[in-house]
Chain A
Amino acid sequence: MSATSFIWLGWMAGATATYWLTPAAYRDFLLIAITATFLTVYAPESAIILAAFTGLTYFGGREQRLSTWRLIAVAGLILSVLVYYKLRVAGEQFGWVQSVAIPLGLSYYSFRCLHYLLERYKGAFPGCDLRSLSAYLFFLPTIMVGPIHRFPQFNRDGRRLRWDTWKFSEGLTRLLYGYFKVMVLAVFLVSEQFGQFVGSLHDTHLWTFTYLHLLERTFYGYLLFAGYSDIAIGFALLLGFRVIENFNWPFIRRNISEFWNSWHISLSSWVREYIYKSVFAATRSAALAAVATMLIFGLWHEISFRYIAWGAYHGAGIAFWQWFQGMKSSLSFPKEGAWQYLWHGLSILITFHFVTLSFVLVLEPDLQAAIAVYARLFMVS
């Protein structure tokens, strides 16, 4: 189901209306029931898995101080299910925003469960009751396309929950932004209008076509995903919850580290918090931690060679940036006056193209096709 479909709009409207008409004491039960019904209707397999994960996370994370072995056992079980489904669909082709071929929302809610367990392991907060955890995991707005929101903030919003007209209005505005990004900007402007123009260049200006086609697909993907995130964030606001943002002007960042702080933030901050720190703890190598983190980031999307290549590409990019940070002090650049604007602009341009070029790996059907695009772009063919 698409986040811009009429059916989803109906679910959002129905859930929001019944939610505020229900007495406060029963609202979280109601939302859990609505989410469970939604999943049962559209993805019964996912409903069963989510219920099982909720129980597993609750009972697994109930220990006063979660032991390493218990964490490994429970998290391992959740990961195994995720990997199983990802492997089952390995090799199939997907568009920008997918996850429909695996149980709906599995990639998101499994990472939410892991987040809860890892925070309990860290001792960041005392365990909660089954009701609060279920309310967190069965949260309809984020069930389909994230964001991977966090338990402490969600729980606090639940404790502070009240009707706020301004928040509701902000939610409606975000929904509008989301629909605008998807329908007008991504679909109409970028994909249809700009796409048509780019298509017309295919036979006459192959390099320009290849380059602009890459930009077209990059912006399309960004606007689509950012729009879906806006819809999820807006829906959450309609229910009185503020969930983590997913994008923050990612294409005007000066380096790859900044980019990853502003692109798919709910996932990038997740892997930074749990993968980067764990690998660093084991290896004491920032470069290895960066590569491992980006590999996991890639594999979260899809278990395939192209995503491994994509993850390795970004991991290597971050490792290079880390090395360059150390080098930078020994290099002498002119930094006064207009120079600083020049460096700033150049940094953004380089970062943008580094990121855009990486999308070739995941947008092309296989590695050979990707290499062919690179060859055309760098005029080596």
Chain B
Amino acid sequence: METNAADNSLTRCHQVLEQSRLRTKPGKWLLEGRVGRSYGEFFDRAGRVASCARARGLGVDDRAIIISDDDGTIIEIFFGLIAAGVTAVILNPRGSVDETESLVRAADASLVFVDDGRFSDVDFATLLRNGSPVIRILPPAAQRTRLFARLSGKPNAPLGSSQETYPAMLSPFEPRLATPVEIPDTTTAYILFTSGTTSQPKGVEITHKSLFAQMDTFVRQYRLDESSRILNLLPLQHTDGLTHGAVLSLTCGGTLVRPMRFRVDRLPALLDEIYKSRITHFITVPSMLVLIRQLGRDYEDAFDSDDFQFIISTAAYLDAGLWQSLQESHDVRIVNVYGLTETVCEACYCGPDDESFRIGTVGKPVDCEAKVVDADGTTLAPGQEGELLIKGDNVMKGYFRMPGETENVLRDGWFHTGDIATIDEQGFVTIVGRKKSVIISGGYNIYPEDVTNVLMRMDIITDAVTIGIPDETWGERVVSCVILTDRDAGSASDISEFFLRHAAREKLPRDIYIMDEFPRGPAGKVQLDKLRHRIEQLRQHSAAHRDSESGSVSSVVTDIASSVFKMPVSDLGPDASPDTVSAWNSLAHVEFLMALEVEFGERFTAREIMSISNLGQAVRVLRDKVA
């Protein structure tokens, strides 16, 4: 019997698939540059994956792993699997071999989909349940020859015949949701691993009920519909890319826009995409907002588009100063949200409505409850600091096969976030610290123990400690201190090289300090406060010379500009230019340059004179000359 959209017995993921099949409004669910994927194609592929999974005897309590670099393929397979009741496990396609082996083993899966040619060193068959099959995913270009498919009159028919390659394996199956499958909403829809390299990876289990409860909240809170166009470049093996992007756009019937893989030098092009692609919601991390601010006034119109509604900042602490200044300079609302992989994605929302919006907070819980408790578990009065607890449909089922760990954080339905917070009388939640040792860098959660464990596997390292220190751009940076068998046994770059062979790049410590010893307490435990202080001293020492030079250059340039252009120093930032300073005419420009030459005893070349068109450039040119 074929199901239909009106059937109330449909599971929510079936509804999403049906909605895609019945969609009449033209549009793509995914736009990657100039290539788009249609809803029809999504239904076709995901429907076939579901039929195929069931034909292979997979269902509730089975798991299948997806390791791919192709976002569209990941989501087709993801939906196909969960529609068949199978639990999807998405792993990092750029993870190290060690990590991947450890996670595949932990997932105890019955099937793996992996990009053709990726992890060819890993013997998946030995890591899967009963030597289950490995499906190789062909690159998107090879998946279909459009012209040939059109000529043959089967535009949606996958090519190929092998049963072990995707999408060829789908050929025998119909893209129908034949035979309704009983999937209780307590079935685990997916597992995301939040820490990777340890011997006991922690996999967060999210049920169908939790996933779609979260989707309902998102759709309502962000006012999403079929016309929504969501820009989200976050990776799909993280909940902020998976649920806050792809699953969300399919649920609301909108379009997910992922025009490029992010690189810092592509930021201007990415911001231009917001206007061009009529983006309505931009979901990103605070580090990206720091970079946007650094682009300066040329891109202040980035969100000046009738379609654009707001930015959603997720995954890390959003500095109130950055938040306020970017909102003012770019005339845009930034909705700050808070949650964890364990709460599907989010729990508290600061905005977009005025009633729940207060800069510096994470707003109020939506469709869940929040409370703050002390160490004894007693609920605290408004304004008092304690651990933040969340309760609601969005809370995870538990950590996969880790009852002890689950017990530690999930009691009476309350999830213990590990974050220290306050809740005021109006219900605004403010995060003030963290109980857990997780480092949040550029939106990635990195567990220091994972980093240390990888470092300790290097022969020359006898001891290692990893901590996070504040960073203006990335929120926090991962810093490792190591003690070597011999002071000259290796360098920081040797250690980095080793690290990258065994763990994902985002976990790589940005700074590695080789030390002779660590500060320790009476019991021999490393004193992290003292270690942090020592790192700070080392950083200050190495940066002192550079900072003193650049700081003084900057202040002298600003003083001179202030006197030549007759403007207060406070109004002269690095972006100050003839366009923003009315007295900066061509005569004042030469006076300014000549005053700089006299002050610094330097002579500008023609190229330098031509390149100075704002204060920041003057500082840069002089800094290079002085250096």
Contacts and interface: CB of A to CB of B under 8 A. Distances in A.
Contacts of A161: 276
A159 B272 contact: yes
Given A156-B272, A284-B594, A122 B278 contact: no
Interface stretch (A91-99, A275-283, A349-357): A275-283
Interface stretch (B139-147, B233-241, B493-501, B582-590): B582-590
B173 interface: no
Contact of A257 (B277, B585, B593): B585
Contact of A160 (B276, B585, B587, B605): B276
Given A261-B585, A286-B590, A289-B590, A281 B610 contact: yes
Tell which of B586, B589, B610 has the most Cβ of chain A within 10 Å: B586
Nearest to B609: A281
A276 B588 CA distance: 13
User: B interface, how many residues as a size bin?
Assistant: 20 to 34
Interface string B93-124: 00000000000000000000000000000000
Interface string A264-289: 00000000111011101110101001
Interface string B258-280: 00000000001100110111100
Contacts of A160: 272, 275-276
B606 A325 contact: no
B384 interface: no
A320 to B, nearest CB: 12
B307 to A, nearest CB: 10
B587 A122 contact: no
A156 B300 CA distance: 13
Interface in B274-302: 275-278
Given A156-B272, A261-B585, A25 B34 contact: yes
Interface string A84-114: 0000000000000000000000000000000
Contacts of A162: 275-278
A161 B585 CA distance: 33
A280 B609 CA distance: 9
Nearest to A165: B306
A272 B586 contact: yes
Contacts of A118: 610
B604 interface: yes
B275 A286 contact: no
Interface residues of A, number: 30
A321 B588 CA distance: 12
B300 to A, nearest CB: 13
Nearest to A123: B611
A322 B611 contact: no
A1 interface: no
A122 B272 contact: no
A121 B607 contact: yes
Given A25-B34, A280-B590, A286-B587, A273 B275 contact: no
Nearest to B593: A280
A273 B613 CA distance: 9
Nearest to B302: A160
A281 B594 CA distance: 10
Interface in B588-625: 589-591, 593-594, 604-607, 609-611
A380 interface: no
Given A281-B605, A289-B590, A122 B610 contact: yes
Contact of B611 (A122, A261, A272): A122
A41 interface: no
A124 interface: yes
A161 B591 CA distance: 40
Contacts of B590: 280, 286, 289
Given A284-B594, A286-B590, A121 B610 contact: yes
A274 B610 contact: yes
Contacts of A280: 590, 593, 609
Nearest to A162: B276
A286 B587 CA distance: 7
Given A122-B607, A122-B611, A286-B586, 9 more contacts: A159-B273, A162-B277, A280-B593, A280-B609, A281-B605, A281-B609, A286-B587, A286-B591, A325-B587
24 contacts: A68-B607, A121-B610, A123-B607, A124-B611, A156-B268, A159-B269, A159-B273, A159-B276, A160-B272, A160-B275, A162-B278, A257-B585, A261-B585, A272-B586, A276-B586, A277-B610, A278-B610, A280-B609, A281-B605, A281-B610, A284-B594, A286-B590, A322-B587, A325-B587
